[in-house]
Amino acid sequence: MRINEVERLVGVTKKNIRFYEAEGLLAPRRSSENGYRDYAEADVETLRQIKLLRKLGVPIEEIRRLQSGRLTVADAMRRHQVTIDRDVENLTKARAVCGRLAETGATLDELDAAAELDRLEKMEQEGTTFMDGQKHDVRRRYAAPLICAAVMAVLMLGVIWLVAWAVKTDPAGAPPLPVLGLILAIPAVVIVGVAIALAQRLREIGRREEDDARRF
């Protein structure tokens, strides 16, 4: 099987499949004819196992130990239960802080953020871990590709306008029609390519594939 078929079968993105391969969790054979990866049913099953464990939040290193036989599924799940219990405890404490702040009825201007941060820091020193929403703020990720795509599109439209203006100003000096069509087609193709790349990039950001790859 090729990677596109595996992606459809398992529901794991190509980016993450390649990440698993780079981490040594998956080792498909390569075709002797063209060097392409050739995925077997065993690779698909391995990916299903990885997907299951990752959905439960099992770290990569634990999966590696499971695959090598150094760790049993039972032991891995017991260890992971401890991690989940710790996460639940952290979320419970965070929920308590939210509840206390809600009960104050304070507006944002009335909120003593410095004092609250001090309380949170003391709790962190005692072992509590809080979520950091800044790490999941994706708005800036959308801005960069949108701006780059807009700049490129404007530049290419400028090229098209400049060529059209030159032809209109000096028709006698214009290149032959086929050449002119080719000149105008190049920036037009670039604009279409930029639009396709932008759509793919926004889809990746929306699906948080990059974050998945970092975690997975």
Q: What is the pLDDT of residues 51-106, one digit of tens each?
A: 999 999 999 999 999 999 999 999 999 999 999 999 999 999 999 999 999 998 88
Instruction: Round to whole Å and give the CA distance between 216 and 50.
Output: 9
The 10s digit of each residue's pLDDT in 146-174 is 888 999 999 999 999 999 998 888 888 88
Report the predicted TM-score, pTM, of the whole model to 2 decimal places: 0.56
pLDDT digits (tens, 9 = 90+) for 115-129: 999 999 999 898 888
Q: What percent of the chain has pLDDT over 90?
A: 53
What pLDDT is recorded for position 77? 96
d(CA 118, CA 77): 35
Helix (H) or strand (E) holding 29: strand 29-30
Tokens of 39: 């995925």
Checking if the pLDDT of 210 tops 50, the result is no
- On the question of pLDDT at 211 being above 80, the answer is no
CA distance 29 to 33: 12
Quote the radius of gyration of the chain (alpha carbons, Å).
27
